Amino acid sequence: MKMRKCLAFMAAAAICAALGFSAEAARAAEAPLAGDKKALVVYFSKTGNTQGVAETVAKLTGAELFRLETVEPYPDDYHTSTEVAKRQLEQNARPALKAVPQDLARYDVVFLGHPVWWHTIPTPVMTFLDGAKLDGKTIIPFCTHGGGGADESTGAIRKLAPKSTVLEDKEFYGGASEEEIAEWIASLK
């Protein structure tokens, strides 16, 4: 382990120990893609920005790709869709999904891609997190946004996946180049 990584791991281990997590969790937070981890990319995307990033993440990591889609589609009109999404968030709704990934036990790491909606994760992503068996896994969230950044997304994911190691949501303004995504992926190894 190089000195910088070693110090970062020791710091992560100390923080995790203070918070009551194991050294294994510290290692997962420090180098979540180290070794032969099996990864899945799960994403939700309405207008394609997050989908573009998700496809590149899958291509660069060799991970399988799964798109979350709601049974009830969102309106095409931007303003109307924001109103629908706002109402769902206020009502703490969990819109039904057409399908969810099966057999998550096969994966160590789940990349979770989403657009930022009303400063947080879209409610369909909450539906996924509520039903998914993600205990003990590492969740690597990433998002695309329209200028407000990831905002409250990391906290929302941590709340819904309390027994997972959840990294800080990686934010991309509107999308990202392959180079930018590759640089991020490299930092996870």
> For residue 109, what is the DSSP state?
E
Choose the binding region for ligand FMN from 25-33, 109-117, 127-135, 152-160 (rule: CB under 6 A). Answer: 109-117
Residue 144 contacts ligand FMN per CB under 6 A: yes
Instruction: Give all strands (DSSP E) within 39-122, no chain letters.
Output: 39-44, 64-68, 109-115
For ligand FMN, the closer CB: 73 or 174: 174
Q: Is 166 in the site for ligand FMN (CB under 6 A)?
A: no
Tokens of 108: 């160590």
Nearest distance from C-beta of residue 96 to ligand FMN, angstroms: 18
- Minimum distance, C-beta of residue 78 to ligand FMN, in the bound complex (Å): 6
Nearer to ligand FMN, 28 or 110 (CB): 110
Are the C-beta atoms of residues 157 and 166 closer than 8 Å to each other?
A: yes
Site for ligand FMN in 67-106 (CB under 6 A): 81-82, 85
From 26, 28, 45, 121, residue interacting with ligand FMN (rule: CB under 6 A): 45
Closest CA to 100 of 44, 169, 162, 164: 44
184 binds ligand FMN (CB under 6 A): no
Interaction of residue 56 with ligand FMN, rule CB under 6 A: no
> Least distance from C-beta 182 to ligand FMN, angstroms?
20
Q: CB-based contacts of 183: which residues, under 8 Å, 6+ apart?
A: none
Residue 141 in contact with ligand FMN, rule: CB under 6 A: no
Size of the residue set binding ligand FMN (CB under 6 A): 21
**Could you list the residues that contact ligand FMN (CB under 6 A)?**
45-51, 81-82, 85, 115-119, 144-148, 174
